[in-house]
Amino acid sequence: MIVAERKPFEEIKEMLKGYKKVLSVGCGTCVAVCLTGGEKEVAVLNAELDMARKLEEDPIELGAATIERQCDREYLEVLDEMVKPYEALLSMACGAGIQFLAERYPDKPVLPAVDTTFIGVNQDVGWYEERCRSCSACVLAWTGGICPVTMCAKGLYNGPCGGTDQGKCEISQDQPCAWFEIYGRLAGQDRLDLIKRFYAIVPWKNQKPRTLIQPGYKKPEQAK
Amino acid sequence: MKSGSNLEKVLRAGHFAFTGELGPPRGTTAEEIVEKCEHLKGMVDAVNITDNQTAVVRMASWAACLILIQEGLEPNFQMVCRDRNRLAMQADILGAYTHGVRNMLCLTGDHCMFGDHPDAMGVFDIDSIQLINMVKTMRDEGKFQTGADIEDPPKIFIGAAANPFAEPYEWRVHRLDKKIEAGVDFIQTQCIYNMDRFRKWIEQANDMGLTEKVYILAGVTPMKNVGMARYMQKKVPGIEVPEDLIDRLKGVGKKQVAEEGIKIACEQVEEFKEMKGVHGVHMMAIEWEHKVPQIAEQAKVLPRPQID
Amino acid sequence: MRLDYPTNIKIIRVPCTGKVDVMHLLRAIQKGADGVYAVGCLEGNCHYNEGNLRARERVDHVRILLEEIGLEADRVRMYNLSSGEGPTFAAYAKEMTDNIRELGPNPLKKWAKTH
């Protein structure tokens, strides 16, 4: 899932300076699961903003709407009427959702209430860890299911570097060395041959905006 | 000859190589480099010029290399993968070669968080093994990474690092093998203090026939004091300092610790001279360049061979 | 047992403090309450194992939120006691009331009245 973190309250408050009527828009998918931007988080943020602005003798009228997904036109549609009376929209979706919202309502300022952080896993309630950088060229087949691009602090394709320290990364004792783990897992599977060869320079595929059209489907404008 | 560098000539002729190291200044004081050069002249076959060492900004490695050339010393241009993408790397290689640089050391580089710009983006477009291969492709095939031809390709003697003290130990020789496969000509190892571990590593490398494919220069850094030894032991990732070495430094009078450190280093050099698979020593006298003449003398590596 | 405790406290019963949500605490302050505190079972004695521990985390969270907003964190507190400790309950009620009196009235009260 996509994991996001709520922005510091001060930053959000600063963004909303001057606005008197704002709609907070939550997203019911990834950011709701990671407890950052779902219905409940919208309610907490609105309560905070309401109180803070009253304390400053500058009240703000806040609306709340949480839709299933902000990255999907189908779900955005329900907002079309709702957004009209508001001066600005405060989105609690990931960066993709925020942009899709802004794209749909180009005359409204759309402001981010969260920082999109990573694609990760749920280790426990409220505890998430990054696992994927969406590099568009997955190498997990030969790295024992451990991603060197994401989990190695230097993204090395031929690791481990000389900084590995008793299985930990040089950046922190809390960070396992990805290549130490790759070695360990492949050794356990008797597949070390996979990393004995030198892996050549990578043609990066994530240096420009990417589009995916599945076979048999067309871009929306082509489909019309 | 792959490059015709002095270091390459010395190694090819079968001499025991002796290289030094110099960190560029954190400013524009060329005199600082010139002064360090004075201590190294005639003492070493080539001098490594560090590249934003420990992720701290310093004068560009290639620029300091040029000053060395002016001073009549042969530089070994260190390049880390942290600060440049493949375009900048290839450009720097062309430029440095054009100005007379003939040796390179290809390194991954410490993570930015260790340095003075901890929030900088670490580039790591390619890694150190891929860098080795890039330099080799430029030299031997005369091609850029895209396959386009290079006019008058740069003839570089390609070096890399090896750390026998980082886990997993059993993997370290395979990593060396990968560097050889990528095209490395010589290796300078991490500072060696645990001689037992190093002996095991070189033995493994000998058994795999690796030391016949690559020149190995054993890394030595003399300890200046007990504090430095403790710091290296506790704080520097990938360096292993055995307790008995610290005991030995503690065992002499406070004023003799530095001399004892040099003595230990020279004993190491003596052993490396006899060790199968070791072709030289890389002496990293950190901010201690003025001691290099004494160390070279005491380690009996003088005079340095002159080869035309 | 007849015990006196301040009459200005409105008690809201919940099956377990684990049921108390950040929003409940926040809403109380937003609506003009001068303070709000959760009274849970003793730590280690939760019938649901960790309901009271969760409640403490939420209370701590709300205290941080209040400071972000510009209100005193001490308007929200958590106390723990066992069901047999009537006098302690009264003591905590007094302590909380004294604490709130010291902080003064909730400045949001005047906004709450206009609604």
* Gap between the Cα atoms of A222 and A212, Å rounded: 14
* Cβ contact, residue pair C23, A59, below 8 Å: no
Chains A and B touch (3+ CB pairs under 8 A): yes
Are A26 and A98 in the same domain? Answer: yes
pLDDT (tens, 9 = 90+) of chain B, 308 residues, equals 999 999 999 999 999 999 999 999 999 999 999 999 999 999 999 999 999 999 999 999 999 999 999 999 999 999 999 999 999 999 999 999 999 999 999 999 999 998 999 999 999 999 999 999 999 999 999 999 999 999 999 999 999 999 999 989 999 999 999 999 999 999 999 999 999 999 999 999 999 999 999 999 999 999 999 999 999 999 887 889 999 999 999 999 889 999 999 999 999 999 999 999 999 999 999 889 999 999 999 999 999 999 98
Q: Give the gyration radius of chain C's Cα atoms.
A: 14
* Gap between the Cα atoms of C53 and C18, Å rounded: 8
| CB proximity list for B85: less than 8 A, separation 6 or greater | B123, B125, B126
State the SS3 of chain B.
Answer: CCCCCHHHHHHHCCCCEEEEEECCCCCCCHHHHHHHHHHHCCCCCEEEECCCHHHCCCCCHHHHHHHHHHCCCCEEEEEECCCCCHHHHHHHHHHHHHCCCCEEEEECCCCHHHCCCCCCCCCCCCCHHHHHHHHHHHHHHCECCCCCECCCCCCCEEEEEECCCCCCHHHHHHHHHHHHHHCCCEEEEEECCCHHHHHHHHHHHHHCCHHHCCEEEEEECCCCCHHHHHHHHHHCCCCCCCHHHHHHHHHCCHHHHHHHHHHHHHHHHHHHHHCCCCCEEEECCCCCHHHHHHHHHHCCCCCCCCCC
Is residue A68 assigned to a domain? yes
Question: Could you identify the residue written with the tokens 């709450």?
Answer: C112
Determine the pLDDT at residue C115.
Answer: 46
* Contact of B120 with B101, CB cutoff 8 Å: no
Report the residue of chain B nearest A184, measured CA to CA. B168
Residue C42: pLDDT over 70: yes
Are A146 and A54 in the same domain? Answer: no
Instruction: Give the number of C-alpha atoms closer than 13 A to the C-alpha of residue B76, restricted to the C-beta side.
Output: 28
* Contact of B153 with B16, CB cutoff 8 Å: no
* Gap between the Cα atoms of B72 and A36, Å rounded: 62
Determine the pLDDT at residue C83.
Answer: 82
Determine the pLDDT at residue C113.
Answer: 65
Is residue B308 assigned to a domain? no
Q: What is the domain-level CATH number for residue A57? A: 3.40.50.2300
The last residue of a domain, from among A67, A93, A118: A118
* A8, A47, A50: residue with CB nearest C23: A47
pLDDT tens-digit readout, A42-54: 999 999 999 999 9
How many structural domains comprise chain B?
Answer: 1
* Cβ contact, residue pair A183, B168, below 8 Å: yes
Q: Kindly state whether A47 is in contact with chain C, defined as any CB-CB distance less than 8 angstroms.
A: yes
- Averaged confidence pLDDT in chain A: 96
B120 token code pair: 């900088």
Residue A14: pLDDT over 50: yes
Q: Kindly state whether A112 is in contact with chain B, defined as any CB-CB distance less than 8 angstroms.
A: no
Of A125, A117, A28, A9, the closest CA to residue A76 belongs to A28
Determine the pLDDT at residue A223.
Answer: 60
Chains B and C touch (3+ CB pairs under 8 A): no
Q: Kindly state whether A156 is in contact with chain B, defined as any CB-CB distance less than 8 angstroms.
A: yes
Are A103 and A66 in the same domain? Answer: yes
Are A61 and A94 in the same domain? Answer: yes
Are A102 and A24 in the same domain? Answer: yes
Question: Could you identify the residue written with the tokens 């007094």?
Answer: C94
Are A13 and A99 in the same domain? Answer: yes
* Cβ contact, residue pair B81, A154, below 8 Å: yes
Is residue A218 assigned to a domain? no
Q: Which domain holds residue A155?
A: 134-196
* Gap between the Cα atoms of B226 and B272, Å rounded: 24
Residue C47: pLDDT over 80: yes
C-alpha distances in angstroms, B106 versus A111, B130, B191? 45, 9, 17
Determine the pLDDT at residue A212.
Answer: 93
Of B79, B119, B74, B126, the closest CA to residue B100 belongs to B74
Q: Kindly state whether A138 is in contact with chain C, defined as any CB-CB distance less than 8 angstroms.
A: no
**Max Cα distance, chain C (Å):** 43
Distance, C-alpha A154 to centroid of its chain = 21
* Contact of B45 with B7, CB cutoff 8 Å: yes
Q: What does A102-161 look like in DSSP terms, one character per residue?
A: HHH-TTS-EEESEEEEEEEEEEETTEEEEEE---SS--TTTTTT--HHHHSTT--SS---
Is residue B307 assigned to a domain? no
* Contact of A69 with A31, CB cutoff 8 Å: no
* Gap between the Cα atoms of B299 and B301, Å rounded: 6
Report the residue of chain A nearest C31, measured CA to CA. A51
Determine the pLDDT at residue A205.
Answer: 95
* Cβ contact, residue pair A204, B174, below 8 Å: no
Is residue A203 assigned to a domain? no
Reduce the DSSP state of residue C61 to 3 states and report it: helix
C-alpha torsion sign, points A43, A47, A53, A57 = positive
Angle of helix B243-251 relative to helix B226-235, nearest 10 degrees? Answer: 170
Are A112 and A18 in the same domain? Answer: yes
* Gap between the Cα atoms of B102 and B8, Å rounded: 9
Q: Which residues of B touch A155 (CB under 8 A)?
A: 124, 127
pLDDT tens-digit readout, C49-83: 999 999 999 999 999 999 999 999 999 999 999 98
Residue A224: pLDDT over 70: no
H helices within chain A, ranges in order? Answer: 9-15, 30-33, 39-55, 73-76, 79-82, 95-104, 148-151, 178-188, 193-196, 220-223
Is residue A204 assigned to a domain? no
* C22, C23, C108: residue with CB nearest A51: C108
Are A22 and A98 in the same domain? Answer: yes
Are A113 and A167 in the same domain? Answer: no
Measured at the CA of A33, the angle between CA A30 and CA A37, to 5 degrees, comes to 70
Determine the pLDDT at residue B286.
Answer: 84
* Gap between the Cα atoms of B133 and B181, Å rounded: 9
Q: Is B190 exposed, middle or buried (0-12, 13-18, 19+ CB in 10 A)?
A: buried
Is residue A80 assigned to a domain? yes
Omega prior to B75 cis, within 30 of 0: no
* Contact of B132 with B182, CB cutoff 8 Å: yes
pLDDT tens-digit readout, A90-137: 999 999 999 999 999 999 999 999 999 999 999 999 999 999 999 999
Beta-bridge mates of residue A195: none
* Gap between the Cα atoms of A42 and A39, Å rounded: 5
How many structural domains comprise chain A?
Answer: 2
Is residue A123 assigned to a domain? no
Are A113 and A165 in the same domain? Answer: no
* Cβ contact, residue pair C108, A44, below 8 Å: no
End-to-end CA gap in chain B: 12
* Cβ contact, residue pair A159, B127, below 8 Å: yes
* Cβ contact, residue pair A44, C26, below 8 Å: yes
Q: Which residues of B touch A187 (CB under 8 A)?
A: 168
Is residue B234 assigned to a domain? yes
Q: Which domain holds residue B228?
A: 6-298
Is residue B98 assigned to a domain? yes
The last residue of a domain, from among A63, A85, A118: A118
Of B118, B137, B139, the closest CA to residue B129 belongs to B137
Q: Kindly state whether A48 is in contact with chain C, defined as any CB-CB distance less than 8 angstroms.
A: yes
Measured at the CA of B109, the angle between CA B103 and CA B113, to 5 degrees, comes to 155
Q: How many residues does chain C have?
A: 115
